[in-house]
Structure 1
Amino acid sequence: MPTQAALAHVPGPPATPLIGHTLQIVRDAYGTQQEYMARYGSVYKVNMLGVWRVNLCGVDALEKVLLDKDKIFSSQGGWDALERIYPGGLLLQDFDHHRANRRIMQAAFRASAIRDYRIRMADTMHELLESWPDDKPFCFYHAIKDLTLRLGGAVFMGLPLDGPLAKKVNRAIEDEIKASVTAVRFPFPFTPMWRGVRGRKFLIETFRTLIPERRAQGGDDFFSQMCVAKDENGDGWNEDQILEQFNLLIMAAHDTTATALSVMIAALGEHPEWQERLAQEVADLGDGPLDEEALGKMTQTNLVFREALRLVPPVPFIPRKAIKDFHWKGYDIPAGTSVSLNPGVTMLSPEHFTNPTEFDPERFAPERVEDQSHRFAWSPFGGGAHKCLGMHFSTMQIKLFVATLLRARRIELTGPPPEWRRMPIPKPKGGLPVLLRRI
């Protein structure tokens, strides 16, 4: 790993001993980066938790690193903080190894499988939303985190909604997630990492007992599909590979969806005219099933979803590690350097978006398409070989939630519009208190 001396030619702010710029970045990740970009340009260095990182800012950097035509940038090295909890997941694999496993994973996301997930999800989501209170304020972020976890047990694993195993699995997943973002990376007793390691052990042992049955009998849940998934050559996974891939998948699907829905609900509460547009769009679907055809008609909802992901993307920064020397924007960067990309800040750039901090879903409408100013102007799902496989599944899940909710209720914020804590995983400060009213 390059020292500060090896990166002396790269500009950057003075660093506090030991902690570097960690506190400033955690306190205001976007504001700090925008300040440093204005001061030092689109290439600069910072120190996070004792590690020097080079920030490569803007759409051109996103294109170079994510497309990675010269195989310079390692995702495994970038996400090494997740190694203890999710060592074998797609996110922590590179190049040919990653490509081979991604092809197998794609089988679990094929169109026919997505339809099965939608059918299972629609009934489960309706049941979960009916348990939410009417005319009584509650914390939306906590409620949606709980809903997505419980939904995951049903849709991802095929478990009974409130069965004892589902509750234990959900608790272990939550412990893993907390461990993945904690600053203390060693499992000292009773720390989040310690609980996360224990949660991982429980999940791996639990998943392993289910594999023989799922391989023999199949099923329309994600886990069953992954147990039998094969690529175009007929290659599939062994037990250990299934366990590692699935363990990462359920974490990624849970937290990203919770963030996206929180942003959407906050925006609909703050902009009632858009809430009514979406409610009318849902009403126009009628009372029939929320099938593929119905969800395809939810074009206004899709605009709001895309705008929510632009304003508060669930993954606002993307880490990589350079495994070769490279040259960028006048700077020679040595192999071993940790680099960071900034899709979150890029999507707030006036270079690509009109009045970029304002909520304006119509910027994605056919007559404007501001997101098409550059292939990476809008990039909440990443890009290149590691672009999110669950993009279409996520869109389906969001539309199902919005349609199920707005068929029966309207959203009111019971406080001011939320401020967002951007790191490590975006969430609303104060939890986003809301009130739901029956119509």
Structure 2
Amino acid sequence: MPTAAALAHIPGPPALPLLGHTLGIVRNSYALQEQAIATYGPVYKVNMLGVWRVNLCGVEALETVLLDRDGIFSSEAGWSALERIFPGGLMLQDVAEHRQNRRIMQSAFRAEAMRDYLRRMETVLADLLADWPTERAFRFYDAIKDLTLRVGCAVFMGLPPDDPLAARLNRAFIDEVRATVGLVRAPLPFTAMRRGVRGRAFLRDTFRRLIAERRAAPGEDFFSQMYVATDAEGQGWSEDEILDQFNFLMMAAHDTTATALTTMAWALGAHPEWQEALAGEAEALNRPLDEAALATMARTEQVFKEALRLVPPVPFIPRTVTRDFHWQGFDIPAGTAITLNPGTTMMSPELYPDPARFDPGRFSSSRAEDKRHRFAWTPFGGGAHKCIGMHFSTLQVKLLVACLLPRCRIELAGSPAPVWQRLPIPRPRDGLPVVLRPR
């Protein structure tokens, strides 16, 4: 990995000894980046967790790196901060290994399986939402994170949604995610990394028991599908590979969806005219809520896309350069860690006029602001590593809207403009207090 001296020709803000820019990035990564771009331009360096990273900003950088036509940007090395907690996850793989494992996982998302997942989700969501409080405030983020995990336990693992194991799984996933940005990178006592390593061990033990159960009696849940999934050549996964892939998938699926739904809840509470439009759209749906019915929820999809633009669950995408690379006047040596910035790119006024304003109409066919560049809207990444669960996530969000809004109206009980903590996965610092009012 290049030293600070090797990157001396690349500008960047002054760094603290030892800590570099880590504290500023964790506290308010968007503010630091916006100031850096205004001062140094779209190429600048920062020091995060002791590693010098070169930031490449804008849609051209996203297109060049994510498409990676020359094969010089490593996702595996880029996400090295996750390696201790999520080794073997699909996002932490490159080229042939990534291609093969993506093909295997894709078979678990085939059309017949998706129809079964939707049937399971509709039943589970209706039961879980019925338990949510009405006429009193609660923290929406905490509630939706618990709900999405319980849905995941039912759909992905075949567990009852009221299984007490869900709370322990949630705690383990939280510990894993927090460990990825812990300042201490070794699993020393009382550190976030130690809790993350323990969480990973607990999850692997839990999933390993599930494998034994599914081997004896395969089910229709996602975990069973992963157990039997193969690519076109009949190649499947070993037990350890299933554990690693499933651990990463469960974390990514429920954490990122929780962020998106929390952003939507805030936006709908702050803009009741859109909430009423979505409630009407949901009321008009034909039942059962299959893919064909959910596909008609055009306004819900616009709100979902706008929420992801304003608060993308993955606002930064890391890569590592494997060969010397020249970009916009700068020589970037092999081994350099680089960061792409879809979060702030999607707040660019050149792409989205008045970008801080909530305006789902940007995604209407008549305006199509997201089509101004193929990478103008990239909350799911792009290229070979584009999120494999994007379609599933969209269906899950639409299904929740269809189950909740005809029954309840969302009212904000806290700040109309929540402060977002962007890392490791975005969440409102106050948990987004809301009140549900029965219709």
TM-score, normalising length from structure 1? 0.97
What is the 5 A alignment of 1:172-187?
A: 172-187=172-187
> What is the match of residue 397 of structure 1?
396
**Bigger CA drift: 217-226 or 392-401?**
217-226
**Are 2:408 and 1:409 aligned?**
yes
Show the counterpart of 2:157: 157
Separation in structure 2 between the aligned mates of residue 63 and residue 98 of structure 1, nearest angstrom: 19
Which residue identity is paired with 1:85?
I
Rounded Cα–Cα distance in structure 2 between residues aligned with 1:189 and 1:64 = 42
Residue aligning to 1:190: 190
C-alpha deviation, 1:26, in angstroms: 2.3
Q: 1:333–1:425: structure 2 CA closer, same or farther, 3 Å change rule?
A: same
Question: 1:260 offset after TM fit, Å?
Answer: 0.2
**Counterpart in the other structure of 1:426:** 426
Structure 2 equivalent of residue 211 of structure 1? 211
1:153 touches 1:170 (CA, 8 Å); kept in 2? no
Q: Is the 8 A contact 1:314 1:425 kept in 2?
A: yes
Alpha-carbon RMSD: 1.3
Distance in 1 of aligned mates of 2:187 and 2:99: 32
In the other structure, the counterpart of 1:256 is: 256
SS in 2 for 1:127: helix
Matched, 1:169 2:146: no
Query: Is 1:343 matched up with 2:354?
Result: no
Alignment of 1:40-439 (within 5 A): 40-285=40-285, 288-417=287-416, 418-439=418-439
Partner of 2:190, secondary structure, is coil
What amino acid maps onto 2:374 in structure 1? R
- 1:14 paired residue number: 14
SS of 1:244 mapped into structure 2: helix
Q: Which amino acid aligns with 2:87?
A: P
Deviation, 1:81, is 1.0
Give 2:385's aligned amino acid: H
One-letter amino acid matched to 2:29 = A
Paired residue type of 1:111: A
Contact 2:73–2:321 (CA under 8 A) maintained in structure 1: yes
* Separation in 2, partners of 1:428, 1:178: 15
Preserved CA contact (<8 Å) 1:140 1:433: yes
Amino acid at match of 1:331: F
Letter in 2 for 1:176: E
Higher deviation after alignment, 70-79 or 390-399 = 70-79
Residues 325, 332 of structure 2: 8 Å contact kept:
yes
Is the contact made by 1:315 and 1:425 (CA closer than 8 Å) also made in structure 2?
yes
Shift of 1:216: 5.0
SS at match of 2:219: coil
| Secondary structure of the corresponding residue to residue 113 of structure 1 | helix
- Please report how far the alpha carbon of residue 21 of structure 1 lies from its aligned counterpart in structure 2 after TM superposition: 1.8
Residue pair 2:420, 2:426 contacting (<8 A) in 1 also: yes
Q: Secondary structure at the match of 2:381?
A: coil
Contact 1:160–1:166 (Cα < 8 Å) also in 2: no
Counterpart of 2:280 in structure 1: which amino acid?
Q
Structure 1 residue 389: deviation in Å? 0.2
* Identity in percent: 66
Contact 1:318–1:341 under 8 Å retained in 2: yes
Deviation (angstroms), 1:182: 2.4
Question: Shift of the alpha carbon at 1:188?
Answer: 1.5
User: Take 2:79 and 2:329, find their aligned partners in 1: how far apart are those partners?
Assistant: 26
SS of residue in 1 equivalent to 2:129: helix
Kept in 2: contact 1:153–1:169 (CA 8 A): no
The answer on whether the counterparts of 2:180 and 2:424 sit within 8 Å (CA) in structure 1 is: no
Partners of 1:212 and 1:338 in 2: how far apart?
Answer: 40
Judge conservation of contact 1:324–1:334 (CA < 8 Å) in 2: yes
Tell me, what secondary structure is at the counterpart of 2:358?
coil
With over 3 angstroms needed to count, the CA separation of the structure-2 counterparts of 1:106 and 1:238, relative to structure 1, is: same
1:214-267 Cα deviation digits (max 9, x unpaired)? 245332211111000111121111111111100100000011011000000000
| Alpha-carbon distance change, 27 to 203 in structure 1, aligned in 2, over 3 angstroms | closer
Question: 1:140: how far off?
Answer: 0.5
Gaps of 5+ in 1: none
1-structure distance, mates of 2:196, 2:26: 22
Shift in Å at residue 107 of structure 1?
0.6
1:44: Cα distance to partner? 0.8
The code of the aligned residue for 2:396 comes to Q
The more displaced of 318-327 and 417-426 is 417-426
Separation in structure 2 between the aligned mates of residue 190 and residue 167 of structure 1, nearest angstrom: 21
Question: Any conservation in 1 of the 2:280–2:406 contact (CA below 8 Å)?
Answer: no
When normalised by structure 2's length, the TM-score is 0.97
Q: Deviations over 1:384-426 (max 9, x none)?
A: 1110000000000000111111121000001222121222211
User: Residues of 1 paired with 2:206 and 2:173: CA distance?
Assistant: 12
Asked whether the 8 Å contact 2:178–2:424 carries over to 1, the reply is no
Q: Rate the CA distance shift 1:12–1:180 in 2: closer, same or farther, 3 A.
A: closer
Note the alpha carbon deviations across 1:88-146, whole angstroms, 9 max, x for none: 11111111111111110111111221111111111111111111101000110111111
C-alpha distance in structure 2 between counterparts of 1:421 and 1:203, whole Å: 26
Change (3 A) 1:51 1:39: same
Shift of 1:24: 2.3
**What stretches of structure 2 of length at least 5 have no aligned partner?**
none
SS at match of 1:319: strand
What whole-Å deviation, never above 9, does each CA across 1:155-181 have from its counterpart, x for those lacking one? Answer: 110012222444433333333223233
